[in-house]
């Protein structure tokens, strides 16, 4: 009898400790790991861009200066841009990686692989964690129409302005990342941006969406865009 009671109590203590450890892991450790991973991705990008500037592409096709040039295809799981959203904090900046695999989203924001490229005609759609893995989109509901979403791919600054959101929808509503997103209020083709994250904060029953349009672009040599200047 004594052995049974003791064994059961020890089991309960073990399970309790396991749960506490798991909560510590989810709330704290994933953030530590993700912040390290995101910083690393940003370093990778900056290294890559520094090399590009040192050895600029030899031939630029004539007429390529009209509008942002078409970027090379993105490689799955690799970073290609940095996103800045002043509303989420002046120092808020995250790497944007290609595809939305679970392992990709641990290292930064994920670009939906089948959507438009940065600054191109169509809808550039990006997903990010609301909670865990560094909480990149924890303040997502604070976004308002008119807020700037600034991205750079190393050669160009892209400033998007939010037009609508946060809009709450269900996870199966894939039309929110269409080239002309349903419910966004946009009626014709354009250069759009869609951000998605989960809602409620710790749940997965819904998604929060914001839509933005491309407001302006400028080469990196021209300095930071207006929205990022203090």
Partner 1 sequence: MYGWIWRHLPGNVWVRALISLLLVLAVIYVLFQYVFPWAEPLLPFNDVTVDNQ
Output the smallest distance, CB 193 to partner 1, in A. 14
How far is Cα 207 from Cα 103, in angstroms, rounded to an integer?
A: 20
Helix (H) / strand (E) containing 79: strand 79-84
Does 138 engage in binding with partner 1 (CB under 8 A)?
Answer: no
Stretch that binds partner 1, among 39-47, 79-87, 130-138, 217-225 (CB under 8 A): 130-138
Residue 129 appears among annotated catalytic residues: yes
Give the tokens for residue 12: 């309960």
Does 129 engage in binding with partner 1 (CB under 8 A)?
Answer: yes
Does 11 engage in binding with partner 1 (CB under 8 A)?
Answer: yes
Residues ≥6 apart with Cβ < 8 Å to 180:
123, 186, 187, 188, 189, 190, 192
Does 203 engage in binding with partner 1 (CB under 8 A)?
Answer: yes
Residues ≥6 apart with Cβ < 8 Å to 126:
83, 96, 109, 110, 111, 112, 193, 194, 195, 196
Which of 22, 60, 64, 146 is the binder for partner 1 (CB under 8 A)?
A: 22
Does 131 engage in binding with partner 1 (CB under 8 A)?
Answer: yes
Interface size with partner 1, residues (CB under 8 A)? 40
Does 128 engage in binding with partner 1 (CB under 8 A)?
Answer: yes
Give the tokens for residue 160: 């998007």
Does 90 engage in binding with partner 1 (CB under 8 A)?
Answer: no
Does 54 engage in binding with partner 1 (CB under 8 A)?
Answer: no
Pairing of strands 93-98, 109-111: parallel
Stretch that binds partner 1, among 19-27, 51-59, 67-75, 154-162 (CB under 8 A): 19-27
Looking at the DSSP bridge assignments, the partners of residue 197 are: 208
Annotated catalytic residue: which of 40, 55, 111, 198? Answer: 198
Annotated catalytic residue: which of 40, 129, 204, 206? Answer: 129
Instruction: Please list every residue from 140 through 199 that binds partner 1, using CB under 8 A.
Output: 169, 171-174, 176-177, 196-198
DSSP class per residue in 153-221: -SSEEEEEEEEEEEEEE-TT-GGGGSSS-TTSS--S--EEEEEEEEESTT--SEEEEEEEEEEEEEEGG
Give the tokens for residue 35: 């912040």
Residues that bind partner 1 (CB under 8 A): 6-7, 10-11, 14, 18, 21-22, 25-26, 29-30, 100, 102, 105, 110, 112, 127-133, 137, 169, 171-174, 176-177, 196-198, 202-204, 207, 209
Catalytic residues: 129, 198
């Amino acid at each position: 009898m004594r052995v049974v009671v003791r064994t059961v109590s020890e089991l309960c203590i073990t399970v309790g400790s396991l749960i506490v450890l798991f909560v510590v892991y989810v709330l704290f450790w994933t953030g530590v790991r993700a912040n390290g991973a995101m910083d690393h991705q940003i370093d990778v990008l900056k290294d890559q861009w520094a090399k590009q500037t040192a050895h600029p592409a030899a031939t630029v096709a004539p007429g390529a200066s009209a509008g942002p040039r078409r970027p090379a295809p993105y490689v799955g799981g690799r970073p290609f841009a940095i996103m800045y959203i002043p509303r989420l904090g002046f120092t808020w900046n995250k790497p944007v990686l290609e595809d939305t695999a679970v392992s990709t989203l641990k290292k930064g924001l994920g670009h939906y692989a089948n959507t438009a490229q940065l600054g191109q005609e169509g809808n550039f759609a990006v997903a990010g964690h609301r909670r865990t893995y560094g909480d990149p989109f924890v303040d997502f509901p604070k976004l308002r129409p008119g807020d700037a979403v600034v991205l750079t791919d190393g050669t160009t600054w892209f400033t998007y302005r939010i037009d609508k959101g946060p809009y709450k929808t269900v996870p199966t509503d894939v039309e929110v990342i269409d080239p002309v997103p349903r419910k966004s209020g946009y009626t014709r083709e354009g250069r759009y941006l869609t951000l998605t994250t989960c809602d409620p904060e710790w749940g997965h029953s819904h998604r929060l969406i914001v839509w933005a349009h491309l407001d302006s672009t400028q080469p990196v040599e021209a300095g930071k865009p207006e929205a990022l200047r203090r």
